[in-house]
Each structure stands twice: as structure tokens, then as C-alpha cells.
């Protein structure tokens, strides 16, 4: 019988097994800790180092000052006003919504907008840029944790509408949006610096001596080719013409045909550069470079140049003009009501005969007409460097219809810009060279050292000197005996051409019966041309012929320019001195161009002269600069003295402003004083101020305009008044 066995006893872990288990657990835990430490200290060291720094350090951006824009005579066109901007260090803010509610009444901003700006992962954000001093003091007194007040600059344009389309403007962050501000944005902007602050145990922000400030590199200064006085004249006369003829828009372009420099570029309607958002994009458009128009009879230059250069006809050769009606390609060409019979080539141009020009174009042939039109720069951008520049339209001969050669001879089926037209006529004025238009004279760094000196650029030779001289003589005949008589100025030889063109309908099918482009292109003095003016006026209502609308505007502008040239301030002479100064400065880095300091506050001038290493000598009392010696544009050695005559605009800012005494001053001095007083000027004539209204001492009210009646010391021009 088998023995009964006891069931086996369950195994119970002994003391040794428990020890092994516990040791294994702690060993595993230790391995995890070591791996975590390796992860934090090695693989993620950079991340946690940055987090630690972020808790103790704050980087405040130091914005570079945007470069200043000057005209060719050192007149300020765009500058920076010191102001304060408000930012916040978000790492010191516990409740962003509460902060937004506190700041809303102080900053005059909706709390929701402030909160939206703070919804970011960035450690520092701007809440409101460029506040006034009074508001900055209130914010500082509030002692709200995390708020930062930093020095900033506000872009200001002292001449408001004058040159607005060329100068352009910036956005709130100082980025160029249009004009030169956009074209030269990379030069003007500079490079921002930064300041690093370290917070102590109780949260106070202190400079970190181990991380010194990175100073900003300030933007470079841009010197334009335009002359502020000529720009003012062009703007005022264009505006007067538009008002008188009830026109919709227009442009005036003034150039030096010898160099291609743009001396003035005016567009109307205009806008205030200090408040561009109040105007439509169409108003802010630079029509002189963006708008392509069928030019009309000013384009007859191309046909005349072709037949003369190719020796197809001579000025005395006779063209039969069909007694005012010429059937061609199924259409009837007329001479705007005239019944011309035989005309010489010179008379065809002087009388702007459509029939005569068409016959000359047919003699030349479409290939030659097209080639010379291209050589004159039509059908391609003029390369001003400005945004939105159009190239116009010029169809190749293969795309021409049977009527195109006649249409193009009369300035239709081709479109051009005002600047293209200026350069084309400039090629006649300067002896046959097509030049690239230039709006920049030079670039200088923040210390005044020139970094770029622009020189005339020849694109190609279009005509021989002999043919250019012949064409100039024919264009003189237009003004003396032809359609351009209203541009005539006694004692001055003027060469020019009128133009009248119907505007196309909005659907581009056919032409409007009531909308026209009235234009005149002329240069003077014809024997040695120094100035070329293109006037284009769109949709005039009281008249539409270029001879009646644009030619008188040309004459008034030219008269006032001659008055400036003969007066106490010889603008044109100083302009050419300035061009030479840039080259001279490049030759000797010890020399520097003296900037225009007039009308600026003494404190600002002190800083400018210190940066330029020039020594101020103060003459008189006051806060603003009336005159200076050496004058703007002079070249001097560094550490040279600059004598500055002071004046006080008001006895006290709390007293009402009064109109300054301007009688006896030069036009340039008077305009500077009015600019300081924030008064718009209307100028009649040129030279020295002989009358002003309102008179000196009259309280200045909002929106007041001061009329200045001027007279040249040398009587070369009549007063320019629109009748």
C-alpha cells in the first residue's frame, strides 16, 4: 500500500531575494535619473540654457535711424523726429488681459487690439509706436510692471505735398512703401542694434555689463537730383492749370537734358506725405512713370528725326498736304480744320500737319519708323528705378495694320510715359544722345562720407549732332511761328512741340469725344539747352488743345525758373556745384558736404554737426537756424567752423503764433520760415519777396495760406499768374 505524502509547502521569498529586488529597483531608478540628467545636461542643454537666459535676460531692440532724404541743394525732404515708443516685456506680465484693460485708456487703443498684440511667443512686443512726450510721461508714472519706454523716430516730410510722388513714404515700422523711400529702402533703413537687460531677484531690469549694447548702424542719406524750388514751381503751376481748365490730373517733369537729371517731377492730384492713408492709391500713383498715354503730336518728333537722319527729306523740301483731307487705308486724315496745300518739312512740323507727317512716315517706311522709335527709348522702361515704372507700348512692324504707320505718325497706337518723352526730346537737346533718367545724385553714410556718386549714363546715340541741331531749329520754329506760340518768352530761345490726343474709352475700343490729353514739350535756351519741361494735362474741360492748355503752363514755369536763376539765389548754378562736390568728396575723405541746417532746431543741429565733426559758431539768440555760413552744399574740411544765425519763431510756445516778416527776404528764405511756422505758401513771381498776405504779425490760424509776391532783381520774367 503506497505511503501517503504531504503536499509540498509553498516557496516563500527569503530575505536575500527581497534585498535583490529592492536593489534592482533602486538601480533601475538610478539609471533613469542618470539618463534624464544626460538628456537635460547634454542633449537638451541648449534649450534649457536658453530658457534660463530668457527668465533673467530681456533683449530690447535699438532701431537704426532711417537715413535722411535731401534735394540737390541739401534741402530736407524726409527726416526723423525723435519720439517715444511703448513696449512690454511679456515675461513680467502675469495677466495679459488685465494689462490690456489697464493700458487701453492710457494708449487710447481698444483693449482687444492690445491683447491681440500680446498673443505671441515673443518675449518683447511693441504696444504703441511713436507716442508724444505727454503720453510717455503718463505711462512712466503708471509704473506698470513690464512696460518699456524706448527712444524712437517718426518719419516727417516737411514739405508735405511737394515732391510727394517721387519722395514716397514709409509704413509705421519705417519700411519704404513707395517712391525713393521704397527704391532706396535697403540703403535708408540701416541695421538695428540691441540692448540686453538682466533682471535681479526682485524683477528690476539692469544693464548686463557682460553683454554690451550692439549699437545700430544708421541708414545712409540719399541726395536727389530734384531742386526743391523748381519742384515747388512745377507743383504750383500744374495745380493752377488743373484748376483753371477743370482738368482731372496732370504731370510736369523738368530735366537737365545734358545729364538726364530729373530736376522736378510733379503729379496732381497730390497728397500729404505725412498722412498718405487719407488718399486713394490712384492719387498716390506716380503718373509720370506709371501712366502710359497716347501722346498725340509730340510723337511727330520720331517721324521728323527719321526722315532727317536717313536723309529722306530736308527741311526745305515740299510736301503736298492735300488741302486738308487725305484718304489712306480706308480712313480720312485731316489737319484739324486747316486746308494746307504745299508745306515744307519745317512747316509740316511747325503747323503740326497730320497729313504731312503721315506722308513723311510713309516715305521712311515702317521698319525705320519702328527702329527710331525704339532708339528714342519708347516701348521699354526708362529705368528710373521707381516702382511701377511702365515701358509703354510699341508694336513691332509685323503686328501693324495698314493704318498703323499713319496712326503712329500722329502719336496714336503707341503709348509713352512722361519721363520717356522727356528723355526722347532730351536726345535732341543734348546733341543726339539718349540718357538714362536719374533721380539720385549720390549716397552718403550717416557721417556724411559719400559712398556712391551717380554719373550721367548714355544709353545710345540716336542722332548725329548735325541732325539734332536741325531738329532744334525746326522746334524753335514751332514756338516762333507755329502751334507753340503760347510758350514763347521774349528774349529766350525756346524749342518745343504741342500735342493733343483723344483718350481711349474705358473698354479700349475707340476714342472718347470729350476726353483729351493736352501736352507740350520744350527746352531752353535752344542755343545751349539746360532745362527741358514736359507738361501733360489730362481731360481739361475749358479747352483741350495743347497749344491753349499746356503751352501756357510751360511758359509760366519757364518764366519763374528764369526768375529764380536771375534772382539772389541761383538755384541752377548751385545745383551743378553740388554735382561736382560729390566727385570732390570721393577724391578726399577729409572733406565733407555742409548740409542744409536752416529752419532746424538748435538741439538737432548740434547733434548733426557733432556727427559730421564740424564746429558750430552761434550768432544771435533763438531755437532755430535762419542762415548759415558756409552755405548748404559747400565742401569743407572736417573740424571746420560753421556759423549759424539763430532766430526765435515765437516768444513762447504758449503764445499764439504770428505770421513772420518775409518782405525783403529771398524766396528760399521765406519758404523756410513758413515751413517752420507750418504755413502753406502760394508764390507769385520769383526772386525777392516784395509783398506778403497776410502781413507780418497776423495770428496764424489752422489751414491759413500765405501769398508771397516776388520780383526778380534782374527783370527777365513777368509775374506768373493764372488768368
Q: What is the rounded CA–CA span in Å between residue 226 and residue 305?
A: 29
Return the number of other C-beta atoms located less than 10 Å from residue 535's C-beta: 33
What pLDDT, in 10s, does the model give residues 579-592?
A: 444 444 444 556 67
pLDDT given for residue 587 in this prediction: 44
pLDDT given for residue 483 in this prediction: 95
Q: Is it the case that residue 255 has pLDDT exceeding 80? A: yes
Whole-number average pLDDT of the chain: 83
Highest mean pLDDT among 168-172, 602-606, 715-719: 168-172
pLDDT given for residue 345 in this prediction: 97
pLDDT given for residue 62 in this prediction: 76
CATH architecture of 653-723: 2-Layer Sandwich (3.30)
Query: Which residues, in sequence order, are CB contacts of 294 under 8 Å at separation 6+?
Result: 411, 412, 413, 414, 415, 501, 502, 503, 504, 517
Edge-first strand order for the sheet with 624-629 is: 615-619, 641-647, 624-629
CATH architecture of 58-222: Alpha-Beta Complex (3.90)
The count of C-alpha atoms lying within 13 angstroms of the C-alpha of 165, restricted to the half-sphere facing its C-beta, is: 27
pLDDT given for residue 601 in this prediction: 73
Least-confidence region, from 13-22, 145-154, 344-353, 553-562: 13-22
Burial class of residue 26 (count of CB atoms within 10 Å of its CB; 0-12, 13-18, 19+) = exposed
What pLDDT, in 10s, does the model give residues 178-207?
A: 999 999 999 999 888 877 766 555 555 555
Between the alpha carbon of residue 426 and those of residues 292, 354, 377, 475, the distances in Å are 19, 23, 11, 13
Least-confidence region, from 171-175, 662-666, 705-709: 662-666
In the chain, the percentage of residues whose pLDDT exceeds 70 is: 83
Selection from 164, 162, 165, 186 nearest residue 174 by Cα? 186
The count of C-alpha atoms lying within 13 angstroms of the C-alpha of 63, restricted to the half-sphere facing its C-beta, is: 22
Structural domain boundaries of the chain?
Answer: 21-56, 58-222, 228-272+283-443+450-571, 588-648, 653-723
Q: Which CATH number is associated with domain 228-272+283-443+450-571? A: 3.40.710.10
Q: Is it the case that residue 400 has pLDDT exceeding 60? A: yes
Q: What is the rounded CA–CA span in Å between residue 272 and residue 156?
A: 11
Q: Is it the case that residue 655 has pLDDT exceeding 50? A: no
Question: Do 305 and 462 form a contact (C-beta atoms < 8 A)?
Answer: yes
Band (pLDDT 50/70/90 cuts) for residue 488 is very high
pLDDT given for residue 32 in this prediction: 81
Higher pLDDT, 231 or 682: 231
What pLDDT, in 10s, does the model give residues 325-370?
A: 999 999 999 998 899 999 999 999 999 999 999 999 999 999 999 9
C-alpha cell at 158: 516737411
C-alpha cell at 525: 535756351
Band (pLDDT 50/70/90 cuts) for residue 722 is very low
What's the average model confidence in pLDDT over 624-638? 73
Query: Which residues, in sequence order, are CB contacts of 645 under 8 Å at separation 6+?
Result: 619, 620, 625, 626, 627, 628
Selection from 422, 396, 417 nearest residue 408 by Cα? 396
Band (pLDDT 50/70/90 cuts) for residue 545 is very high
Dihedral angle sign, alpha carbons of residues 41, 46, 48, 52: positive
Selection from 307, 261, 292, 253 nearest residue 533 by Cα? 253
Q: Which CATH number is associated with domain 588-648? A: 3.30.10.20
Q: Is it the case that residue 493 has pLDDT exceeding 80? A: yes
pLDDT given for residue 716 in this prediction: 34
Question: Do 319 and 359 form a contact (C-beta atoms < 8 A)?
Answer: yes
What's the average model confidence in pLDDT over 540-559? 93
Instruction: Find the helix packing angle between 133-142 and 96-107, rounded to 10°.
Output: 150
Spell out the long-range contacts of 316-320 with Cβ–Cβ below 8 A and sequence spacing 24 or more: 316/344, 316/345, 316/346, 317/344, 317/345, 318/342, 318/343, 318/344, 319/343, 319/344, 319/345, 319/348, 319/353, 319/356, 319/359, 319/360, 320/359
pLDDT given for residue 30 in this prediction: 79
- Strand, helix or coil for residue 325: strand
Q: Which helix (H) or strand (E) covers residue 615, if one does?
A: strand 615-619
Band (pLDDT 50/70/90 cuts) for residue 634 is low
Q: Which helix (H) or strand (E) covers residue 551, if one does?
A: helix 546-566
Band (pLDDT 50/70/90 cuts) for residue 42 is low
Band (pLDDT 50/70/90 cuts) for residue 6 is low
Question: Do 93 and 156 form a contact (C-beta atoms < 8 A)?
Answer: no
pTM for the model: 0.73
What pLDDT, in 10s, does the model give residues 284-336?
A: 999 999 999 999 999 999 999 999 999 999 999 999 999 999 999 999 999 98
Between the alpha carbon of residue 260 and those of residues 420, 436, 440, 559, the distances in Å are 11, 6, 11, 22
Higher pLDDT, 348 or 661: 348
Least-confidence region, from 74-83, 287-296, 598-607: 598-607
pLDDT given for residue 376 in this prediction: 98
Higher pLDDT, 421 or 663: 421
Highest mean pLDDT among 31-40, 277-286, 622-631, 638-647: 277-286
Band (pLDDT 50/70/90 cuts) for residue 161 is very high
Q: Is it the case that residue 470 has pLDDT exceeding 90? A: yes
The count of C-alpha atoms lying within 13 angstroms of the C-alpha of 368, restricted to the half-sphere facing its C-beta, is: 16
Strands 69-70 vs 76-89: parallel, antiparallel or unpaired = antiparallel
What's the average model confidence in pLDDT over 419-438? 97
In the chain, the percentage of residues whose pLDDT exceeds 90 is: 47
Band (pLDDT 50/70/90 cuts) for residue 78 is very high
Q: Is it the case that residue 85 has pLDDT exceeding 80? A: yes
Between the alpha carbon of residue 17 and those of residues 14, 21, 22, the distances in Å are 6, 6, 9
Say which residue the cell 540718357 belongs to. 435
Q: Is it the case that residue 2 has pLDDT exceeding 60? A: no
> Please, which residues bridge with residue 650 across strands?
none
Q: Is it the case that residue 721 has pLDDT exceeding 60? A: no
* Alpha-carbon 418 to chain mean position: 16
Dihedral angle sign, alpha carbons of residues 30, 31, 32, 36: positive
Q: Is it the case that residue 571 has pLDDT exceeding 50? A: no
Amino acid at each position: 500500500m503506497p505511503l501517503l505524502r504531504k503536499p509540498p509547502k509553498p516557496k516563500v521569498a527569503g530575505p536575500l531575494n527581497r534585498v535583490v529586488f529592492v536593489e534592482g529597483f533602486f538601480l533601475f531608478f538610478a539609471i533613469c535619473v542618470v539618463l534624464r540628467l544626460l538628456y537635460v545636461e547634454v542633449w537638451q542643454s541648449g534649450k534649457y540654457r536658453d530658457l534660463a537666459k530668457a527668465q533673467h535676460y530681456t533683449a530690447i531692440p535699438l532701431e537704426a535711424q532711417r537715413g535722411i532724404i535731401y534735394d540737390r541743394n541739401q534741402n530736407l525732404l524726409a527726416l526723423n523726429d525723435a519720439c517715444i515708443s511703448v513696449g512690454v516685456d511679456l515675461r513680467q506680465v502675469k495677466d495679459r488681459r488685465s494689462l490690456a484693460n489697464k493700458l487701453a485708456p492710457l494708449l487710447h487703443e481698444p483693449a482687444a487690439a492690445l491683447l491681440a498684440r500680446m498673443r505671441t511667443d515673443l518675449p518683447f512686443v511693441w504696444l504703441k509706436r511713436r507716442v508724444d512726450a505727454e503720453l510717455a510721461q503718463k505711462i512712466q508714472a503708471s509704473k506698470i510692471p513690464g512696460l518699456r519706454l524706448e527712444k524712437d523716430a517718426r518719419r516727417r516730410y516737411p514739405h508735405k505735398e511737394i515732391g510727394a510722388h517721387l519722395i514716397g513714404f514709409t509704413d509705421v515700422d519705417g519700411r519704404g512703401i513707395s517712391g525713393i523711400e521704397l527704391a532706396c529702402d535697403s540703403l535708408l533703413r540701416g541695421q538695428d542694434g540691441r540692448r540686453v537687460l538682466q533682471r535681479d531677484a526682485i524683477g528690476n531690469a539692469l544693464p548686463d555689463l557682460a553683454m554690451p549694447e550692439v549699437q545700430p548702424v544708421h541708414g545712409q542719406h540719399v541726395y536727389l537730383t530734384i531742386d526743391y524750388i523748381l519742384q515747388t514751381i512745377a507743383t504750383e503751376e500744374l495745380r493752377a492749370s488743373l484748376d483753371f481748365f477743370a482738368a482731372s490730373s496732370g504731370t510736369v517733369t523738368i530735366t537737365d537734358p545734358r545729364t538726364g537729371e530729373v530736376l522736378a517731377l510733379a503729379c496732381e492730384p497730390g497728397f500729404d506725405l505725412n498722412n498718405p492713408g487719407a488718399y486713394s492709391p490712384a492719387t498716390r500713383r506716380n503718373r509720370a512713370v506709371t501712366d502710359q498715354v497716347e501722346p498725340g503730336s509730340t510723337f511727330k518728333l520720331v517721324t521728323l528725326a527719321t526722315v532727317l537722319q536717313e536723309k529722306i527729306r530736308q527741311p526745305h523740301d515740299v510736301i503736298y498736304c492735300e488741302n486738308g483731307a487725305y484718304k489712306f487705308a480706308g480712313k480720312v486724315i485731316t489737319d484739324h480744320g486747316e486746308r494746307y496745300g504745299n508745306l515744307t518739312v519745317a512747316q509740316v512740323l511747325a503747323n503740326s500737319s497730320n497729313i504731312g507727317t503721315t506722308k513723311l512716315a510713309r516715305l521712311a517706311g515702317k521698319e525705320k519708323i519702328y527702329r527710331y522709335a525704339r532708339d528714342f527709348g519708347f516701348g521699354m522702361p526708362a529705368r528710373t528705378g521707381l516702382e511701377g515704372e511702365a515701358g509703354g507700348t510699341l508694336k513691332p512692324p509685323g503686328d501693324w495694320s495698314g493704318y498703323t504707320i499713319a496712326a503712329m505718325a500722329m502719336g496714336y497706337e503707341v503709348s509713352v510715359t512722361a519721363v520717356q518723352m522727356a528723355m526722347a526730346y532730351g536726345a535732341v537737346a543734348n546733341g543726339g544722345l539718349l540718357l538714362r533718367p536719374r533721380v539720385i545724385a549720390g549716397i552718403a553714410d550717416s557721417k556724411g562720407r559719400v559712398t556712391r556718386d551717380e554719373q550721367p549714363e548714355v544709353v545710345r546715340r540716336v542722332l548725329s549732332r548735325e541732325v539734332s541741331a536741325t531738329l532744334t531749329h525746326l522746334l524753335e520754329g514751332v514756338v516762333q511761328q507755329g502751334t507753340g506760340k503760347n510758350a514763347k518768352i521774349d528774349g529766350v530761345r525756346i524749342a518745343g512741340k504741342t500735342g493733343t490726343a483723344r483718350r481711349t474709352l474705358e473698354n479700349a475700343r475707340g476714342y472718347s469725344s470729350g476726353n483729351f490729353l493736352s501736352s507740350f514739350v520744350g527746352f531752353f535756351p535752344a542755343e545751349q539747352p539746360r532745362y527741358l519741361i514736359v507738361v501733360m494735362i489730362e481731360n481739361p474741360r475749358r479747352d483741350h488743345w495743347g497749344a491753349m492748355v499746356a503751352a501756357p503752363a510751360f511758359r509760366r514755369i519757364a518764366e519763374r525758373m528764369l526768375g529764380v536763376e536771375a534772382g539772389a539765389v541761383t538755384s541752377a548754378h548751385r545745383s551743378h556745384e553740388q554735382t561736382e562736390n560729390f566727385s570732390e568728396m570721393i577724391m578726399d575723405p577729409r572733406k565733407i558736404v555742409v548740409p542744409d541746417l536752416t529752419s532746424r532746431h538748435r538741439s538737432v543741429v548740434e547733434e548733426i554737426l557733432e556727427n559730421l565733426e564740424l564746429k558750430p559758431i552761434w550768432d544771435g539768440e533763438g531755437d532755430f537756424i535762419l542762415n548759415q555760413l558756409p552755405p548748404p552744399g559747400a565742401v569743407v574740411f572736417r573740424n571746420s567752423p560753421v556759423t549759424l544765425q539763430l532766430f526765435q519763431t515765437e516768444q513762447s510756445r504758449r503764445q499764439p503764433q504770428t505770421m513772420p516778416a518775409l518782405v525783403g527776404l529771398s524766396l528760399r528764405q521765406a519758404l523756410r520760415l513758413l515751413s517752420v511756422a507750418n504755413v502753406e505758401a502760394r508764390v507769385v513771381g520769383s526772386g525777392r519777396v516784395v509783398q506778403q498776405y497776410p502781413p507780418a504779425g497776423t495770428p496764424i490760424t489752422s489751414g491759413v495760406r500765405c501769398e508771397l509776391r516776388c520780383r526778380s532783381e534782374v527783370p527777365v520774367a513777368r509775374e506768373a499768374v493764372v488768368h
